Amino acid sequence: MLAVFVIAAGLTVFFITRAIFFAVFWMDPERGLHPVEPWMTPRYIGRTYDLPRADLQEILHLTPGETPRVPLEKLAQQRGIPVEDLIAEIEALIAARASK
Specify the amino acid at residue 18.
R
Q: Is the confidence at residue 32, as pLDDT, over 70?
A: no
Extended strands (E) in 1-100? none
Task: Give this prediction's pTM.
Answer: 0.65
What is the domain partition of the chain in residue ranges? 2-29, 34-98
Task: Give CA–CA dist 53/25, Å, rounded.
Answer: 26
List, for residues 9-27, the tens digit of each pLDDT value: 999 999 999 999 888 877 7
How many other CB atoms sit within 10 Å of the CB of residue 91? 14
